[in-house]
Amino acid sequence: MKGKALILVDVQNDFCPGGSLAVPNGHEVVPPLNRMIAFAVRHRWDIFASRDWHPRQTKHFAEFGGIWPVHCVQGTRGAEFHPDLRLPNGYVRFQVISKGLGDADDYSAFDGGMRPEAEHLYVGGLATDYCVLSTVRAAIEHGHKVTLLTDACRAVNLKDGDGERAIEEMRAIGAMFATVEDVLREPATI
Ligand code: VGL
Ligand code: ZN
């Protein structure tokens, strides 16, 4: 494997303030991710944007036995990407990955069928302690190098400290950490 790819995890209205499963300050990931998207397009990286894309009835939701309030129901405004996220629509190396289509929780973008060819994945989005963590875990299991974009993710923190523990787990399994500014200053590679 060689090359780099950008993975944008679930930057959707329902995970941002005002949404039904709002991540505190979730919208703050948008400006750094927009800078990363522009950089990734310039360097011809593959770019994946995952989205939680649930049916109205799924065991993922509390009313059907899961733990979550209703969120990211297919076709609703809550399931749309944040309106300020500048997705590179029309860029040939850009792909949207939908996940959570059935009763499984599908936290990882790999659960939605994402199979990046690039060796090194740069990951940001929502939420650090669920879908970002699961995506990083799966990426490492699939043999990728992973850098978490620390200023471009936010945690739900259902339990106090979940975000911190997620970061610790990612460190323990070999993830690297960088801010978007760090990456933008790295020597350019494909
Ligand atoms: C997520 C909770 C439920 C996430 C998705 O995107 O992190 N969290 N479904
Ligand atoms: Zn979900």
Please check whether the domain covering 4-184 is classified as CATH 3.40.50.850: yes
In this prediction, residue 4 has a pLDDT band, given cuts at 50, 70 and 90, of: very high
- The DSSP-derived string for the chain is ---EEEEEE--BGGGSTTSTTPPTTGGGGHHHHHHHHHHHHHTT-EEEEEEE-B-SS-TTBGGGTSSB-S--BTTSGGGSBPTT----TT-TTEEEEEE--SSS---SGGGGT-----SEEEEEEE-IIIIIHHHHHHHHHTT-EEEEEEEEEE---SSTTHHHHHHHHHHHTT-EEE-HHHHHHSPP--
Q: Is there an atom of ligand 1 within 6 Å of 68 CB?
A: yes
pLDDT digits (tens, 9 = 90+) for 130-186: 999 999 999 999 999 999 999 999 999 999 999 999 999 999 999 999 999 999 998
Instruction: Pick the residue whose CA is nearest to atom 3 on ligand 1.
Output: 68
Q: Is the CB of 126 under 6 A from ligand 1?
A: yes
Q: In this structure, which amino acid lies at residue 3?
A: G
- Report the separation in Å between the CA atom of 61 and the middle of ligand 2, taken as the mean of its atom positions: 8
- What is the pLDDT, as a whole number, of residue 186? 84
How many A from CA of 151 to the centre of ligand 1? 19
109 within ligand 1 shell (Cβ under 6 A): no
Reported confidence tier of residue 190, pLDDT bands at 50, 70, 90: low
Query: In this predicted structure, what is the pLDDT of residue 1?
Result: 81
Average pLDDT, whole number, for the chain?
97
119 φ/ψ angles, rounded to the nearest 5 degrees: -75, -40
Sign, CA torsion 164/128/46/86: negative
